[in-house]
Amino acid sequence: MPYSTESDVYDATGYNSDIVQKLSQKTPEQVTTLINGYIAQADLRIKRLLGVPISIRKEYHLFESNHTVELGPYEDPMGFFSAYDPLNCVDDVYAIYQNGYRVKLPYPKDCDSLSEDIINMNAGANCTLSRETSIFKCGTASIKAIFTAAGSFDFPKNHNLEKNIEPWNYVSFWFRTNNKTATFTIELYDKDGNKISRTFTVTINDTWQIITLQISKFTDYSTTRFNEERLLQYITIKADKACTIHFDNFNFNDGFFWTYPEGLICWSTEDTEPYGEIEVTYAYDPYKVSTPEDIKEASARLAGVRLVEFLIGCRQRVTGFQQMSDDLEDTPDRDALEMTRSRLRKEAEEILSGTGFKTYSGLGSA
């Protein structure tokens, strides 16, 4: 979530969309895109100055018959409960350690990029795909598939994944459906159409559930193993009847994967009861969900600096190559624009200095 909005930038600069349109000769939509880009640049600068995202090193957690644990300092064995709260603010998980050894990272490393958008997917018969941003588990969206009858979808679109999945033991994802009587099948294909497959079901309607399938238990695994000689090229998801599903957080893993920004570590061995100690190194952005007013103001002002610099260039172009007309008399002159730029930059620096450069909310266990 951006730290500020287009209207915040207008409040900071004292300008509005009409003025920006007049000087830049852009449409309202183009102006919105321009300013959102400046906000993204401003937020990145703020994160660098404040040391965000904040890294937490080897935070302790215990699985006791629970398939997920929430990140946070609540299980710190030393009893030092720091004040930070990463719920819905997790940016990345860097490492998981079990019994002192680092666990192999999943593929993809973010545990989600293969199931974040439909642009790299094919909808098969009786299937309509959409990117769902209201009901999702990981990242910013899930894949919604509406089946009017038995049907399927597959990914990636060009069947060119080119991946050796032999290093991982499991395929996992979050899944929900409105019809728990449906049976679903996942198929893994090579370039020649050889496949391995597993069926699965869910137990509750309209509820996210973790699906974990051990790859060695897939049908035809003994004759069709995906390794350096036989690469995985694409994945197909099938439904045997009409239903609506949501599919998210798809990954190959070696026993653990994660769900962000919620901040869950998921146990993903098919036949082993979840139990054991882990340590997690990760990063979170404390301003991802709720942005303090001073951070919002700093973001708006820094974005405003970039906007004003752009408008100064537009003003120079207008006055340098076009005769001034009455229509341009009510637009800000260069001196006014430069004064606004200086003011915004100074105010942003004062706000961030008050927050504290590269301050941290807490530390994980050693």
Any domain includes 279: no
Q: Are residues 245 and 306 in the same domain?
A: no
User: Of the candidates 218, 172, 170, which has an alpha carbon nearest to the alpha carbon of residue 196?
Assistant: 218
Averaged over 20-38, what is the pLDDT?
A: 94
Averaged over 104-123, what is the pLDDT?
A: 97
Give the end of a domain, one of 254, 278, 300.
Answer: 254
Q: How far is CA 252 from CA 168, 170, 260, 273, 275, in A?
A: 6, 6, 16, 19, 21
Structural contact between residues 270 and 212, judged by C-beta atoms closer than 8 angstroms: yes
364: confidence class by pLDDT, cuts 50, 70, 90: very low
Averaged over 307-330, what is the pLDDT?
A: 63
Give the end of a domain, one of 199, 234, 254.
Answer: 254
Q: Which of 112-116, 132-136, 226-230 bottoms out in mean pLDDT, i.e. has the lowest? A: 226-230
Is pLDDT above 90 for 230? yes
Looking at residue 257, its pLDDT comes to 98
Q: Are residues 140 and 202 in the same domain?
A: yes
pLDDT digits (tens, 9 = 90+) for 186-213: 999 999 999 999 999 999 999 999 999 9
Place of tokens 């752009």: 310
313: confidence class by pLDDT, cuts 50, 70, 90: confident
Q: Are residues 119 and 21 in the same domain?
A: no
Give the end of a domain, one of 210, 236, 254.
Answer: 254
Q: Are residues 24 and 135 in the same domain?
A: no
Report the percent of the chain where pLDDT is more than 70. 87
322: confidence class by pLDDT, cuts 50, 70, 90: very low
Find out whether the peptide bond into 292 is cis, omega within 30 degrees of 0.
no
Structural contact between residues 243 and 179, judged by C-beta atoms closer than 8 angstroms: yes
Any domain includes 56: no
328: confidence class by pLDDT, cuts 50, 70, 90: very low
67: confidence class by pLDDT, cuts 50, 70, 90: very high
Which domain, by its residues, includes 170?
A: 113-254
Any domain includes 315: yes
Structural contact between residues 247 and 226, judged by C-beta atoms closer than 8 angstroms: no
Any domain includes 117: yes
Looking at residue 110, its pLDDT comes to 96
User: Amino acid identity of 11?
Assistant: D
C-alpha gyration radius of the chain: 25
Averaged over 234-243, what is the pLDDT?
A: 98
Structural contact between residues 28 and 21, judged by C-beta atoms closer than 8 angstroms: yes
359: confidence class by pLDDT, cuts 50, 70, 90: very low
Looking at residue 319, its pLDDT comes to 57
How many structural domains are present in the chain? Answer: 2
Q: How far is CA 171 from CA 198, 215, 267, 326, 332, in A?
A: 11, 7, 12, 66, 59
Averaged over 118-144, what is the pLDDT?
A: 97
Where are the alpha helices (H) located in the chain, listed in sequence order? 6-13, 17-24, 28-50, 293-321, 334-355
Residues 6+ apart with CB under 8 A from 112: 138, 139, 248, 249, 250, 251, 260
315: confidence class by pLDDT, cuts 50, 70, 90: confident
Any domain includes 269: no
Residues 6+ apart with CB under 8 A from 358: 49, 50, 51
Looking at residue 360, its pLDDT comes to 44
Any domain includes 215: yes
Which domain CATH number covers 232?
2.60.120.260
Is pLDDT above 50 for 134? yes
d(CA 320, CA 147): 60
Q: Are residues 302 and 349 in the same domain?
A: yes
Q: Are residues 44 and 120 in the same domain?
A: no
Structural contact between residues 151 and 206, judged by C-beta atoms closer than 8 angstroms: no
Place of tokens 């321009």: 34
Any domain includes 265: no
331: confidence class by pLDDT, cuts 50, 70, 90: low
Q: Which of 135-149, 158-172, 297-311 bottoms out in mean pLDDT, i.e. has the lowest? A: 297-311
Is pLDDT above 70 for 135? yes
Report the percent of the chain where pLDDT is more than 90. 75
Strand order across the 264-267 sheet:
68-70, 264-267, 256-259
Greater pLDDT, 338 or 167:
167
Entry field: residues in the chain:
366
Looking at residue 49, its pLDDT comes to 86
pTM of the shown model: 0.82
Averaged over 229-251, what is the pLDDT?
A: 97
List 175's β-bridge partners, or say none: 209, 247
114: confidence class by pLDDT, cuts 50, 70, 90: very high
Looking at residue 314, its pLDDT comes to 81
Number of other CB atoms surrounding residue 266 within 10 Å:
25
Q: Are residues 311 and 216 in the same domain?
A: no
Looking at residue 281, its pLDDT comes to 96
Structural contact between residues 33 and 324, judged by C-beta atoms closer than 8 angstroms: no
Q: Are residues 297 and 238 in the same domain?
A: no
Q: Are residues 250 and 117 in the same domain?
A: yes
User: Of the candidates 19, 250, 258, which has an alpha carbon nearest to the alpha carbon of residue 117?
Assistant: 250
Averaged over 207-235, what is the pLDDT?
A: 95
> HEC string of 151-207?
EEEEECCCCCCCECCCCCCEEEEEEEECCCCCCEEEEEECCCCCEEEEEECCCCCCC
Q: Are residues 242 and 300 in the same domain?
A: no
Any domain includes 222: yes
Is pLDDT above 80 for 340? no
Is pLDDT above 50 for 291? yes
Q: What is the average pLDDT value for the chain, to the nearest integer? A: 89
Q: Are residues 141 and 210 in the same domain?
A: yes
List 152's β-bridge partners, or say none: 238
Looking at residue 326, its pLDDT comes to 47
Q: Are residues 137 and 226 in the same domain?
A: yes
Q: How far is CA 151 from CA 3, 44, 141, 199, 233, in A?
A: 42, 43, 22, 14, 20
Structural contact between residues 209 and 235, judged by C-beta atoms closer than 8 angstroms: no
